[in-house]
């Protein structure tokens, strides 16, 4: 029996024999940045260790859920206790009710929620619900916003005012996405013209309020306000995809921030994931009692899932929501995230590197360019090659960012000021060398 140590390269080579591309989600393959993926052996607090024993300060946080850090004692205790009671029942549990109550209490636009197992499932069903509620077929999404890999949403924009969808994945028939209209993010003129042309055919507008799959791009307040007005005027529903931003940028999620700027603002349907599961496979969508009453078993819109409301996942999510609801939690998280972003910006200035960054709550993003992009085409114009060099410079110095220019970063409650300082110091070196 071999006693040779396991390496990331050896594991990647082995994985590629039985797993397409060697990974179970594409961005993990490091193809955007080059090099060998790190195979993680364990994580604790703000850190992860790979198969070779290298420690990293973790700013992926499982792509957002680990807002408390890895292995938080209260969450771990809740999960362990739940596991002893049973993994899955296929029947209702009290914890499902408690988690639904916690979400409804925190998000005023929601009166009822349905728990599911993934953000893709939640987004897909939100679209189905919007179509069922309006009796219409067309949907609007924005280039650069990712809402999961449901067929109708795997579309990107072409040229022109409002491009009817063309699939961006093999295996998606053109007729499946023929009712999907793709517009430019933050472009008020486009959405006004689209509603003028198709207003009585549009079931919903779906948006990431902070687009975390363009790295970090905010929907501007006038843009969100105008969408709300157009939806009301034409009888369409406004869907906020908060899989990433939900309970991550604020306790009331991103919609609470827009409500501060737009009196009375609420979306019609909200989609959640990541934080509400605390790292377990759990997501949800919610709306008013009237809209949610269209779901089976009460109404004609069908949705079901064997593992929906899984008892271990709900225990993990409930414990996470309890911790982040404590007084001062988001103030402290926001302070640390801002400190990180300010330090990275200062390091870029010292190195003479064009750099723009933004953050909200425990979510942040940065670009190698003179200003913050407002849409996908502007993101694509930033310096990808420099990002790749800085990514590897940070990785070599023990700092783990998302391995792609187009992904946001996440700070957790477990990150200390010392972790932030170490990250900024590593970034200064990586930026000078870039």
| Catalytic residue positions, numbered | 146, 241, 274
- Which of these, 366, 413, 427, 409, lies nearest to 60 by C-alpha position? 409
Task: Give the number of other CB atoms < 10 A from CB of residue 346.
Answer: 14
Whether a cis peptide bond, with omega within 30° of 0, leads into 291 is no
Helix axes 73-85, 311-324, angle to 10 degrees: 160
End-to-end CA distance of the chain: 43
Strands (E), 59-200: 112-116, 138-142, 155-156, 163-164, 166-167, 180-183
212 touches 223 (CB < 8 A): no
C-alpha 76/C-alpha 44 separation (Å) is 11
The alpha carbon torsion through 140, 145, 150, 156 (nearest 10 deg) reads 70
Q: How is the beta sheet containing 55-58 ordered, strand by strand?
A: 40-44, 47-50, 55-58, 399-400
- Which of these, 110, 123, 111, lies nearest to 207 by C-alpha position? 123
C-alpha 235/C-alpha 230 separation (Å) is 8
Read off the tokens for 6.
């396991």
b/e map 211-230, b = 16+ CB within 10 Å = bbbbbbbbbeeebbbbbbeb
């Amino acid at each position: 029996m071999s006693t040779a140590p396991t390496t990331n390269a050896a594991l990647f080579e082995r994985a590629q024999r039985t797993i397409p591309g060697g990974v179970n989600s594409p961005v993990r393959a490091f193809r955007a940045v080059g090099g060998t993926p790190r195979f993680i052996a364990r994580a604790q607090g703000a850190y992860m260790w790979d198969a070779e024993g290298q420690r990293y300060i973790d700013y992926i946080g499982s792509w957002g859920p680990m807002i408390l850090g890895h292995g938080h004692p209260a969450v771990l205790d809740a999960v362990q206790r739940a596991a002893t009671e049973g993994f899955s029942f296929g029947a209702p549990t009290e914890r499902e009710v408690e988690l639904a109550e916690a979400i409804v209490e925190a998000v005023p636009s929601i009166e009822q929620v349905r728990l599911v197992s993934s953000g893709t499932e939640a987004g897909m069903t939100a679209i189905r619900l919007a179509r069922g509620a309006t009796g219409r077929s067309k949907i609007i999404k924005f280039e650069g916003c990712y809402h999961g890999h449901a067929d109708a949403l795997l579309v990107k924009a072409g040229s022109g005012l409002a491009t009817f969808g063309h699939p961006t994945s093999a295996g998606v028939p053109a007729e499946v996405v023929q009712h999907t209209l793709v517009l430019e993010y933050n472009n008020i003129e486009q959405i006004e013209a689209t509603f003028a042309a198709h207003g009585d055919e549009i079931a919903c507008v779906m948006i990431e309020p902070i687009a975390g799959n363009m790295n970090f791009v905010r929907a501007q307040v006038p843009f969100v306000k105008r969408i709300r007005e157009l939806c009301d005027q034409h009888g369409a529903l406004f869907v906020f995809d908060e899989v990433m931003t939900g309970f991550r940028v604020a306790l009331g999620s991103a919609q609470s921030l827009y409500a501060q700027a737009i009196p009375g603002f609420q979306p019609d349907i909200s989609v959640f994931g990541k934080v509400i599961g605390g790292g377990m496979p759990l997501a949800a969508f919610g709306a008013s009692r009237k809209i949610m009453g269209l779901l089976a078993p009460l109404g004609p819109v069908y949705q079901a899932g064997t593992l929906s409301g899984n008892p271990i996942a709900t225990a993990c999510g409930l414990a996470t929501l309890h911790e982040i609801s404590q007084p001062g939690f988001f103030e402290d998280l926001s302070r640390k995230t801002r400190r990180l972003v300010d330090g990275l910006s200062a390091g870029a200035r010292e190195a003479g590197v064009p750099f723009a960054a933004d953050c909200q709550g425990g979510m942040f993003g940065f670009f190698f360019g003179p200003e913050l992009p407002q849409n996908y085409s502007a993101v694509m114009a930033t310096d990808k090659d420099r990002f790749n060099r800085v990514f590897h410079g940070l990785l070599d110095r023990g700092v783990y960012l998302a391995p792609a220019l187009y992904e946001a970063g996440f700070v957790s409650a477990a990150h200390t000021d010392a972790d932030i300082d170490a990250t900024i110091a590593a970034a200064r070196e990586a930026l000078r060398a870039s």
